[in-house]
Amino acid sequence: MAAITAAAVKELREITGVAMMDCKKALVEADGDLEAAQDYLRKKGQAKALKKSSRETSEGAVSFTVSTDGKRAGLVKVACETDFVARNDIFQDFISKLANQVSEQGGENVLQQTLVEGEGSVESLLTEKIAELGENMQILDCRKMEISNGVHGGYIHSNGKIGVAVPLETDKPCDDERLKTLARDIAMHIAAFPAEAVNADQVSKEVLEKEKEVFTAQARESGKPENIIEKMIEGRLKKFLKEICVESQPFVKDPQLSVSQLVENTAKELGVKINFNSFAKFQF
């Protein structure tokens, strides 16, 4: 039997797009013959999926899940070629399993992970679904979130194109329905509003400097004195931060309240400290 080199496996992987382990198996079956290995994969229905790897994936959907103990959540974004497949039950079941996978194993090197549900790897399952649905698919993003106490809230827009995950950590165990409603409402709010951070401290210096440059150029166009320009820039930066930070935004379901006030009110009602300092938002 011919020795199967890593280079040969890599070449077959690049040609077909099939998982590395499946490429190695095909080369073993074909005694190292590259063309015969491709035929082997085609006969198995695997190479069929990978020939579609160059097709554009402009559609897709987002999926969210929470672990049974409520401590972990997973949010994933998976692309496909058409909206028809994005709404297909097989595709929806796949991204749901992937969200659960991420909630358990995290989002690092997700393709190489062994499946939590079923046998094989995430990559082999993806390849299987590509062959089954006849479209190219790509895992674009995934996020695992964890808390010790509290709840995870999630919201998927009805068309599946926007998904948000919000962990609310509490200082003691609390699974009150009002806390769950708060988490989901904040997730829904973030889906509706442009949101870059929870609070101003989380906005990077690079983003602030970039905006300051734009505001400075705009202010100087006014021809006003330098001291007035400085005040104009300061005011515009404050307005910018208020618009992109979730805490300071007017709550989508009750604009008389800011999101931070909503959190504070719920915390008082429940007698707990609620820590809202992160979220994940994926969208197409």
Q: Which residues pair with 166 in a beta bridge?
A: 153
User: Cα–Cα distance between 237 and 239 in angstroms, integer?
Assistant: 5
Tokens of residue 88, six digits: 């297909």
CATH assignment of 6-50, among 1.10.357.10, 3.30.360.10, 1.10.8.10, 3.30.230.10:
1.10.8.10
pLDDT of residue 19: 74
pLDDT for 139: 95
More reliable by pLDDT, 215 or 167: 167
CA distances from 113 to 11, 120, 169, 224, 255 (A): 22, 9, 28, 59, 44
Out of 27-36, 165-174, 181-190, 210-219, least confident range? 210-219
Both tokens of residue 191? 């889906």
pLDDT, the chain, mean:
90
Higher pLDDT, 206 or 260: 260
pLDDT of residue 46: 64
12-21, 56-65, 206-215: which range is least confident on average? Answer: 12-21
Angle between helices 6-16 and 20-29 (to 10 degrees): 110
Closest C-alpha among 252, 218, 221 to residue 235: 218
CATH annotation of 204-244: 1.10.286
- The least confident of 66-70, 72-76, 91-95, 207-211 is 207-211
The structure tokens listed for 101 are 């996978």
Q: pLDDT at residue 51 above 60? A: no
| The two structure tokens encoding residue 24 | 């190695």
Higher-confidence residue of 233 and 252: namely 252
C-alpha to C-alpha distance for 115 and 120, rounded to whole angstroms: 6
**Residue 137 confidence class, pLDDT cut points 50, 70, 90:** very high
Q: What's the confidence (pLDDT) of residue 1?
A: 60
Other beta carbons within 10 angstroms of residue 139's beta carbon come to 19
The model's pLDDT over 142-161, given as tens digits with 9 standing for 90+, comes to 999 999 999 999 999 988 99
Residue 14 has pLDDT above 80, yes or no: no
pLDDT tens, residue by residue, 263-281 = 999 999 999 999 999 999 9
- Enter the CATH code of domain 56-146: 3.30.479.20
3-state secondary structure labels for all residues of the chain: CCCCCHHHHHHHHHHHCCCHHHHHHHHHHCCCCHHHHHHHHHHCCCHHHHCCCCCCCCEEEEEEEECCCCCEEEEEEEEECCHHHHCCHHHHHHHHHHHHHHHHHCCCCHHHCECCCCCCEHHHHHHHHHHHHCCCCEEEEEEEEECCCEEEEEEECCCCCEEEEEEEEECCCCCCHHHHHHHHHHHHHHHHCCCCECCHHHCCHHHHHHHHHHHHHHHHCCCCCHHHHHHHHHHHHHHHHHHHEHHHCEECCEEEEEHHHHHHHHHHHHCCCEECCCCEEEEC
Predicted structure pTM score: 0.77
Return the pLDDT at 169.
97
Q: Are 267 and 171 in contact (CB under 8 A)?
A: no
Q: Give domain limits for the chain.
A: 6-50, 56-146, 204-244
Q: What local confidence, expressed as pLDDT, does residue 15 receive?
A: 75
Rounded CA Rg of the chain: 24
- φ, ψ at 29 (rounded to 5°): -65, -35
Structure token digits, residue 165: 């995950």
Residue 265's pLDDT is 97
- Give residue 262's pLDDT: 98
